Amino acid sequence: MHAARDLCAFVDASPSPWHAAYTLADRLVSKGFRRLELDAPEWDLAPGSWYVHRNGTVIAWRLREGPLRRFAVVGAHTDSPNLRLKPRAAYTSEGCLQLGVEVYGGALWNSWLDRDLGLAGVVFTEDGKAHPLRVHRPIARVSQLAIHLDRSVNTDGLKLNPQLHLSPTWGLARPGIDAAEALFGLLADAAGVDPKAVRSHDVSLYDLTPSTLGGMDESLIFAPRLDNLACSHAGLVAMEAAEVGRDDTCAVLACFDHEEVGSSSLDGADGTLLSVVLERIAAERGLTRSAWHASVASSLMLSADMAHAAHPNYGDKHEPRHKPLLGGGPVLKTNYNLRYGSSASTAAALRVLAASVGVTLQDFVTRTDIGCGSTIGPICASRLGMPVVDLGDPMLSMHSARECAAADDHPRLIALLNAHLTV
């Protein structure tokens, strides 16, 4: 199967970061990875394939036979900007049942208008257990105001207030319907639990339109959440294929939640999770404290997150000599103000790696008069003390509910990540 078709299936199976983590874990298990629990006092690590999974984050690794000297890490993130149900989401307005939502991350708000939306996430029951849920039918929509009531919208621009204008409608307010009870009943039913046992939820809205290959020759990918499920998927496929590699190197895939909101959380890249996992691996393999620090200094992380392709309608938004093209291959991202983790040293290492597997790299820097986005790259470099380089495939419409990338870039990114995990 073309890697891009597999990506479409991966994205459609992962409508929330919770689901992305379950999808990753299921795939890893099917490839023989064994789960370890973070609260287990000892891991008893033999050479082999292992993973930990907490909430929306999964870290997997392959431990090889030789004495451990370094880590080859691929980092990505499972979350994407979206609309999340507030704790008391259900209310009525103008005869309609409404859902109060919080905007998660830097979403393009307009992209959520007039779409058929489903619900996906998790409920926690009184016994402390998580129950994933998915309502995979058109349960809600955020209706745009008719142009007759907003005549200047096309010329003056659409102005949305997220508190007032992004609440989806999910039915009609009829006498005798208790909106809150109906919503909790729906969520509990979808999770397969007793509504009375539900104590909390984390539920996102998602666009029901399936991911697909598009364009005249299916050279494009039309899908939601490509930022950054495309890189999570590329890392997963690269890891699945990384059965052999340098004996002294532990190959690691870390897919974090919460990148879109700054990564400072229990399961985010700015938490201790990855450093704790790596340190435990080192301890289990008998490394001294000093040897552990040496192993981190000898390691390299490829921070994989999607990049901005030059937009055919807005070519002047890019730096003229650093314009990644859709279909032109993976992008090396540089920002001397450290919005990315790349340094001259790690950029050189990535160029050598790419050349070794025949992958052409494109270069991205943002225009000097436009601010630069960021990634988990600089966070991981400073938190782990590990050299990092930032890269990703080019895409359009980043942070829209529906994004676009090029099908042929995806296998190139997989080849590059696989080379890192195996060489």
Looking at the Cβ atoms of 72 and 304, the one nearer to Zn ion is 304
Dihedral sign for Cα 125, 129, 130, 133, please: negative
Q: Find the residue with minimal CB distance to Zn ion.
A: 228
Residues 6+ apart with CB under 8 A from 42: 284
User: Site for Zn ion (CB under 5 A): which residue of 12, 79, 202, 227?
Assistant: 227
Assess 202 for contact with Zn ion (CB under 5 A).
Answer: no
- Choose one: 33-41, 223-231, 310-318, 404-412; the region binding Zn ion (CB under 5 A): 223-231
The Cα 309–Cα 406 span in angstroms is 10
Looking at the Cβ atoms of 19 and 333, the one nearer to Zn ion is 333
Strand partners, 92: 97
Q: Within 303-322, which residues bind Zn ion (CB under 5 A)?
A: 305
Q: Within 68-87, which residues bind Zn ion (CB under 5 A)?
A: none
User: Minimum distance between the CB of residue 227 and Zn ion, rounded to whole angstroms?
Assistant: 4
Looking at the Cβ atoms of 36 and 76, the one nearer to Zn ion is 76
Question: Using DSSP, how many helices (H) and how many strands (E) does the chain show?
Answer: 11, 20
- Choose one: 44-52, 163-171, 202-210, 299-307; the region binding Zn ion (CB under 5 A): 299-307
* Strand pairing category for 212-214 and 220-223: antiparallel
- Show the tokens assigned to 346: 């790690």
Q: Where are the beta strands (DSSP E) in 320-413?
A: 331-333, 362-364, 388-392, 394-396, 403-406
Rounded to 5 degrees, φ, ψ at 269 are: -65, -20
The Cα 292–Cα 366 span in angstroms is 36
The Cα 283–Cα 279 span in angstroms is 6
Looking at the Cβ atoms of 240 and 305, the one nearer to Zn ion is 305
Q: If you ran DSSP here, which 8-state letter would residue 154 be given?
A: H
Assess 228 for contact with Zn ion (CB under 5 A).
Answer: yes
User: Minimum distance between the CB of residue 76 and Zn ion, rounded to whole angstroms?
Assistant: 8
User: Minimum distance between the CB of residue 399 and Zn ion, rounded to whole angstroms?
Assistant: 8
User: Minimum distance between the CB of residue 308 and Zn ion, rounded to whole angstroms?
Assistant: 11
Looking at the Cβ atoms of 228 and 249, the one nearer to Zn ion is 228
Looking at the Cβ atoms of 131 and 308, the one nearer to Zn ion is 308
Give the footprint of Zn ion on this chain (CB under 5 A): 227-228, 305
